[in-house]
């Protein structure tokens, strides 16, 4: 039985979405994913992609309360109720209790409203989650408020929740819009092609190209209101934020038209990873398509401990790393391959404070293991504690012998260093053996609770190396 005070807070969470908005702040609107929300001007804002989810984070200045909006492509037959179980199975941690879930009509959109708690004491928090499907997208919107700050922030939070709205399909972008300078162009189609042939995957979801593709084409269609205007077509590597190409589509015709652009393979080859093409007008992204470039397929030869690695006749194929996000459920890990009783190739995943023992091949949380994940708020690269040196090489086969003894400091097992993505590192163990290690995937999460800065990696390991 919940106490009266707890019941009052629970009921308030359930009623969050029916309260009246009285204070305005800064409108945030995303045309591509068709939603808007009104958040205080001084709140911190962040956008990133996590698997197939496009994530929008909003956090108060004091980092006490937060809102998170997750948007992803959903099939035409998907219902809001189908979003609940996968979300709870993957993201709701142990100890979080669901208090209720009900049908909800919020600002014209039908969905499910669930209320959770991490505990009823001062250290707990209330979480309201709104699940909905509209415009071909699934939406999961989280509103998080600590119990001890309930009375302080309840007015501010209910105004934010009331402001959230999933917009209807675009009919006339110039009508009834709370924002100024709204683009008068609507992109009705954006498709990607290779070798001037349309991709088999018509909706372009989960689109992956091999690393030898010479050119990627984009075609788009649009509707325009008002005078002819110009659009920018921009190609971006979203892993490092590098802009690869920018072209202008001039004289956008009225009321409709089409255009195209292309991106050629760089002379030095593609960097494997995540990319997207964007259509912009007045510095606003009207629409984009994401795609991935696969890792190059280079051979790794499995040998017995008494043999040496050879790059000649009929090498065994290198284990392939799927170019998918770290927390995508359909991911297929690299097959662990034993080449002798004590020699292996292995794919591993490590999170905050986790460690790895090369000799046993096991992941743990032991501070004296060969490799330990460290906390760092530099989101660009993982930070590792261990006795290793970087080789500047991207492939295991390029590193044929260990670095000289002078490369390793006898006390460097306590050193904390950055480990770049997709560069081979050589670890030296206390018994004098070596291991090859390469990070192939990296994700960074700035959490509300401690530790706030969290790194997650996937890596390929060979141990022992240089047999």
Average pLDDT of the segment spanning 119-137: 85
Instruction: Indicate the helix (H) or strand (E) that contains 21.
Output: none
pTM above 0.85, yes or no: no
pLDDT at residue 416 greater than cutoff 80: no
pLDDT of residue 253: 59
pLDDT at residue 269 greater than cutoff 70: yes
Full set of structural domains in the chain with CATH: 4-166 (3.40.1000.10), 185-293 (2.60.40.10), 337-463 (no CATH)
pLDDT of residue 58: 92
Neighbours of 443 (CB within 10 A): 19
pLDDT of residue 415: 66
What are the distances in angstroms from CA 461 to CA 411, 412, 433, 449, 454? 23, 20, 14, 32, 22
What is the three-class DSSP state of 256? strand
Give the whole-angstrom CA distance, residue 272 versus residue 95: 38
What are the distances in angstroms from CA 60 to CA 44, 160, 169? 6, 12, 31
pLDDT of residue 315: 38
In eight-state DSSP terms, residue 211 is: T
The residue behind tokens 């937060």 is: 66
Q: Give residue 258's pLDDT band: very low, low, confident or very high (50, 70, 90).
A: confident
The more confident residue out of 463 and 29 is 463
Q: Give residue 437's pLDDT band: very low, low, confident or very high (50, 70, 90).
A: very high
pLDDT at residue 435 greater than cutoff 90: yes
Average pLDDT of the segment spanning 316-331: 36
- Give percent above pLDDT 70 in the chain: 71
pLDDT at residue 157 greater than cutoff 80: yes
Average pLDDT of the segment spanning 178-198: 64
Lowest mean pLDDT among 82-96, 149-163, 198-212, 383-397: 198-212
Q: Which of 431, 391, 435, 429 is nearest to 412 (CA)?
A: 429
Token pair belonging to 32: 């591509």
pLDDT of residue 228: 59
Mean residue pLDDT of the chain comes to 75
Neighbours of 70 (CB within 10 A): 21
Cα 376 to chain centroid, rounded:
18
The residue behind tokens 């698997």 is: 51
Lowest mean pLDDT among 31-40, 232-241, 372-381: 372-381
Q: What is the 3-state secondary structure (H, E, C) of 89-155?
A: HHHCCCCCEEEEEEEEEECCEEEEEEEEECCCCCCCEEEEEEEEEECCEEEEEEEEEEHHHHHHHHH
Lowest mean pLDDT among 49-63, 160-174, 236-250, 435-449: 160-174
Q: pLDDT tens, 238-253?
A: 887 778 888 888 655 5
Average pLDDT of the segment spanning 438-449: 76
pLDDT at residue 451 greater than cutoff 50: yes
Please tell me the number of Cα atoms within 13 Å of 99 on its side-chain side: 23
Nearest 10 degrees: Cα torsion 291, 293, 294, 299: 180
Q: Give residue 409's pLDDT band: very low, low, confident or very high (50, 70, 90).
A: low
Strand 44-50 relative to strand 53-59, pairing: antiparallel
pLDDT of residue 464: 92
Q: Give residue 22's pLDDT band: very low, low, confident or very high (50, 70, 90).
A: very low
What are the distances in angstroms from CA 383 to CA 377, 390, 416, 419, 456? 10, 13, 7, 6, 10
Residues 6 or more apart in contact with residue 252 via CB below 8 angstroms: 185, 222, 224, 228, 229, 230, 231
Give the whole-angstrom CA distance, residue 407 versus residue 434: 13
């Amino acid at each position: 039985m919940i106490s009266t005070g707890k019941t009052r807070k629970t009921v308030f969470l359930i009623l969050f979405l029916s309260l009246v908005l009285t204070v305005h702040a800064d409108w945030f609107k995303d045309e591509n994913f068709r939603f808007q929300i009104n958040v205080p001007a001084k709140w911190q804002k962040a956008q990133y992609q996590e698997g197939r989810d496009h994530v929008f984070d909003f956090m108060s200045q004091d980092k006490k309360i937060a809102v998170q909006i997750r948007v992803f492509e959903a099939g035409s037959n998907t219902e809001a109720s189908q979003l609940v179980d996968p979300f709870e199975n993957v993201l709701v941690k142990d100890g979080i209790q669901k208090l209720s879930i009900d049908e909800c009509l919020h600002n014209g959109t039908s969905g499910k409203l669930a209320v959770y708690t991490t505990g009823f004491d001062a250290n707990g928090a209330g979480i309201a989650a709104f699940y909905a499907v509209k415009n071909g997208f699934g939406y999961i919107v989280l509103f998080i408020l600590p119990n001890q700050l309930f009375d302080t922030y309840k007015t501010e939070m209910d105004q934010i929740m009331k402001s959230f709205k999933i917009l209807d399909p675009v009919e006339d972008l110039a009508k009834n819009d709370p924002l100024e300078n709204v683009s008068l162009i609507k992109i009705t189609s954006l498709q990607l092609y290779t070798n001037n042939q349309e991709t088999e995957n018509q909706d372009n979801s989960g689109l992956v190209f091999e690393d030898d593709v010479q050119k990627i084409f984009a075609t788009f269609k649009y509707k325009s209101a008002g005078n002819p205007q110009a659009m920018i077509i921009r190609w971006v590597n979203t892993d490092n934020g590098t802009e690869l190409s920018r072209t202008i589509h001039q004289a956008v015709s009225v009321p409709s038209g089409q255009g195209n652009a292309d991106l050629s393979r760089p002379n030095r080859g593609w960097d494997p990873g995540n990319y997207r093409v964007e259509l912009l007008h007045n510095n606003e992204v009207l629409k984009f398509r994401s795609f991935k470039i696969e890792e190059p397929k280079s051979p790794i030869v499995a040998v017995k401990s008494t043999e040496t690695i050879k790059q000649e006749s009929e090498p065994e194929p290198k284990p392939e790393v799927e170019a998918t996000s770290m927390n995508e459920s359909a991911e297929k890990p690299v097959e662990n391959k034993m080449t002798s009783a004590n020699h292996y190739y292995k794919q591993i995943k490590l999170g905050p404070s986790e460690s790895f023992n090369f000799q046993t091949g096991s992941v743990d949380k032991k501070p004296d293991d060969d490799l330990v994940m460290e906390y760092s708020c530099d989101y660009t690269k993982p930070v590792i504690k261990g006795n290793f040196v970087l080789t500047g090489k991207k492939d295991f086969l390029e590193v044929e012998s260990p670095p000289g003894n002078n490369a390793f400091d006898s006390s460097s097992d306590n050193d904390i260093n950055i480990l770049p993505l997709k560069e081979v590192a050589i670890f030296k163990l206390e018994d004098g053996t070596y291991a090859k290690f390469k990070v192939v995937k990296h994700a960074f999460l700035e959490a509300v609770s401690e530790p706030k800065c969290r790194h997650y990696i996937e890596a390929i390991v060979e141990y022992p190396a240089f047999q």
